[in-house]
Amino acid sequence: MLLIELPWPDSILSPNSRAHHMARAKAAREARAWARTMMQAEFTNLKMPYQDNGNIPLSFTFCFPDARERDSDNLNSMMKAARDGIADALGINDSRFWPTKQLRGPQVDGGAVIARIG
Rounded-to-integer distance, Cα 38 and Cα 70, Å: 25
Alpha helix (H) residue ranges in 1-118? 21-42, 72-78, 80-90
Residue-wise pLDDT for 20-74, tens only, equals 999 999 999 999 999 999 998 877 655 555 666 788 899 999 999 999 999 999 9
Q: Which residues pair with 63 in a beta bridge?
A: 112
Categorize the per-residue pLDDT at 84 as very low, low, confident or very high, splitting at 50, 70 and 90.
Answer: very high
**pTM: predicted TM-score of the whole model, two decimal places:** 0.89
The mean pLDDT value of the chain amounts to 90
Task: Judge contact between 96 and 56, C-beta under 8 A.
Answer: yes
Query: Quick check: 13 pLDDT over 90?
Result: yes
Domains of the chain in start order, with CATH, are 2-117 (3.30.1330.70)
